[in-house]
Amino acid sequence: MSFLTPLYLFGAALIALPIVLHLLRRDVAPSVPFTAVRLLRKSPVDRSRRHRLRDLLLLAARVIALLLLAGSFARPFVAGAPSTGRTTIVAIDRSFSMAVPARFERARALAREAIDGARGGPVGVIAFDDRADVVAAPGTPADARAALDTIAPGYGATRFAAALDKAAEILADAGRESRIVIVSDLQRSGFDEGGAVLPEGIDLQVRDAGAATTNLSVTNATIDRKQVVATIRNFGNVARTTDVHAVADGRMLTARRVTIPAGDAADVAFDTGSEAGRLTVGISDSDGYLADNERVAIAESRALPKILIVGGGPVQTAGFYFSRALQAEAEEGADFDVHTITGGAFTALTPAQVRDQSVIAILSTHGLDRRVGETLRAFLDAGGGLFIAAGQDMDPSVLSTLLGWQPPLAPRDARNAGVLAATDLRHPVLRPFDAVAANFGQVVFDRVWDIDAGSAWRVVARYTSGAPALAERIPDGAPRVTAGRVLLFTSDVDRRWNDFPLNPAFVPFSQEIVRYLGARPPAVSSYVVADAPPGVPARPGIVTAGNRAVAINVDPRESTVDRVTPAEFLTLVTRSSAAGAPRAVRLAQQTEGQQNYWRYGLLLMLATLVVEAFVGSR
């Protein structure tokens, strides 16, 4: 008999209470002054044996009730009973290296052997590569064998840590004597990321399904303007010759034959004649792993986010401070591609040219006509960002008409609005300022628009007069995922209504605004299978993720043929006693949870108290 919370057993010391009370009561009754004791003496005084027995029964009942209470709170359980046999988890490797002819069949046979050796205990099956999935929860061998037939090699890379973690998690829930059988080709790269830790007490067995092999792999493919380069690596022990063929934007390039020494790599370049967007490079290697014989790539976009400033005055002065603030260079160069045009020039842009912009900053409505409205709304619907700053060339009614705002924006002209104060420091525009947000307090705003925010605008910052300073437009109707953001700054950014452009906070303020509005750095366009974006099939190829194309390739680390022996495998797995202790606790908790002896203890205690009440009332 063991206890889950043995400290409660100290509560059993409370039995001293009824015992002491019993002893005190037996010998000492309270003294009661009385007069007719002479008459009382003649009455039979009750100290019969029957009542002494009753007192003893009461004492026993109270002591037993307290012992049962303490015992129940201590959560008793019988360790190791009842056991239904050893739980076995068979973890089978499904990385692309297992796709070598006959290798996976051998692995499946080894897994079946492991299932048969489960000696009647429950058997579960895990399929693993970069991640581990439970194919069959611990159950009957028949279910495990059936689940085994559904597993096939994929395109992932071997990560033994994932398999061991998942198996240990299942066994922690199973809570019995346990065993893990790893069936794999035992590539050494499976330990590259470390973390292969297993709690002590779990029997780990390894079945080698692999064999010495050779492999040629396309480990890299890049597009450099009119030239593409592929890196071919020979993982074998002898030099290999192979044909390398490439397809750029659907056009087959001239195949190249290359000989690669053992354990070495070679770069193969192809001239494409024009800038290529998509590339597929392949080799012929029927002896090695098939999945790494081909690699895809797309041209990396180096374009900076485009910011278009629409100003009403002469081109050389409109939005001068704002554009300079955005073009302030960091160490790696400017973050934005900024252009400034007049309203008339903006009207002449095609919708496609507008859509090409990340953020449009409208600092003047001068020269804008109705066509611009449709273009802007389409731009916003496509996720573009719009920045609007008040100013002497900004007509709020024109703006409302262009953007279809109902009710129209009707600001009051306000003077001496004070300084700017951040209202919502959690907003992404202001969050980076945090402790230095007080710098805004040095800027004096002589003239601003005092708008009625209502339910159409979310105010991010206000002037000390209370008028909104920076507000974000709340989308009309149901929020659309693709809806672009609109920010309104109610004073100008050209130093006519304030001296904000001279303040050190102006540059970061401007940059944070356009970043929030959608000017993101170029996105990564190349992934390995394990890191593919959500919603993308876990297989190599060029696919569309959201609104962009990405290249998915197999992990080149899986292409190695270097293997470990089963004995070496066991030494590479770290046994964790720290992880074992919680496991023992979990095991105890599960056993106790299955047995639930504490409930019987409490029921017995209640029964004892009923008996005590019955005897006490006699």
Q: Which amino acid is at 400?
A: S
Q: Which of 7, 39, 330, 478 binds other proteins (CB under 8 A)?
A: 39
How many positions of this chain bind other proteins (CB under 8 A)? 22
Q: Which amino acid is at 300?
A: E
Q: Which of 7, 42, 50, 286 binds other proteins (CB under 8 A)?
A: 42
* 3-class secondary structure per residue, 241-294: EEEEEEEECCEECCCEEEEECCCCEEEEEEECCCCCCEEEEEECCCCCCCHHHE
Choose the binding region for other proteins from 44-52, 281-289, 332-340, 453-461 (rule: CB under 8 A): 44-52
Per the CB < 8 A criterion, the answer to whether 587 and 190 are in contact is: no
> Which residue lies nearer to other proteins by CB, 24 or 252?
24
- Directed axis angle between helix 49-73 and helix 597-617, to 10°? 160
Choose the binding region for other proteins from 9-17, 37-45, 357-365, 515-523 (rule: CB under 8 A): 37-45
Question: What is the helix (H) or strand (E) element at residue 381, kind and residue range?
Answer: helix 370-381
Q: Is 231 exposed, middle or buried (0-12, 13-18, 19+ CB in 10 A)?
A: middle
Binding flag, residue 617, other proteins (CB under 8 A): no
CA–CA gap between residue 196 and residue 190 (Å, rounded): 9
Binding flag, residue 43, other proteins (CB under 8 A): yes
CA–CA gap between residue 26 and residue 51 (Å, rounded): 11
CA–CA gap between residue 325 and residue 319 (Å, rounded): 10
* Cβ at position 616, least distance to other proteins in Å: 12
CA–CA gap between residue 295 and residue 219 (Å, rounded): 7
* Cβ at position 65, least distance to other proteins in Å: 22
> Which residue lies nearer to other proteins by CB, 41 or 426?
41
Q: Which among 385, 338, 394, 339 is positioned nearest to 365, based on CA atoms? A: 394
Q: Which of 29, 212, 352, 567 binds other proteins (CB under 8 A)?
A: 29
> Which residue lies nearer to other proteins by CB, 45 or 481?
45
User: For residue 151, what are the contacts with CB-CB under 8 A and spacing of at least 6?
Assistant: 92, 94, 108, 125, 127, 135
Q: Which of 9, 11, 22, 25 binds other proteins (CB under 8 A)?
A: 25
Residue that the structure tokens 């000989």 belong to: 259
* Cβ at position 604, least distance to other proteins in Å: 30
> Which residue lies nearer to other proteins by CB, 32 or 481?
32
Q: Which of 7, 32, 478, 567 binds other proteins (CB under 8 A)?
A: 32
State the binding string over 50-89 for other proteins (x if CB under 8 A, else -). Answer: -x--------------------------------------
> Which residue lies nearer to other proteins by CB, 38 or 520?
38
* Cβ at position 38, least distance to other proteins in Å: 7
CA–CA gap between residue 344 and residue 194 (Å, rounded): 61
Q: Which of 35, 254, 286, 350 binds other proteins (CB under 8 A)?
A: 35
Binding flag, residue 610, other proteins (CB under 8 A): no
CA–CA gap between residue 210 and residue 103 (Å, rounded): 6
User: Under DSSP, is residue 224 helix (H, G, I), strand (E, B) or coil?
Assistant: strand
Binding flag, residue 49, other proteins (CB under 8 A): no
> Which residue lies nearer to other proteins by CB, 42 or 302?
42
Q: Which of 1, 7, 45, 330 binds other proteins (CB under 8 A)?
A: 45
Q: Which of 13, 17, 23, 40 binds other proteins (CB under 8 A)?
A: 40
Q: Which of 7, 36, 238, 481 binds other proteins (CB under 8 A)?
A: 36
Binding flag, residue 33, other proteins (CB under 8 A): yes
Task: List contacts with other proteins (CB under 8 A).
Answer: 25, 28-47, 51
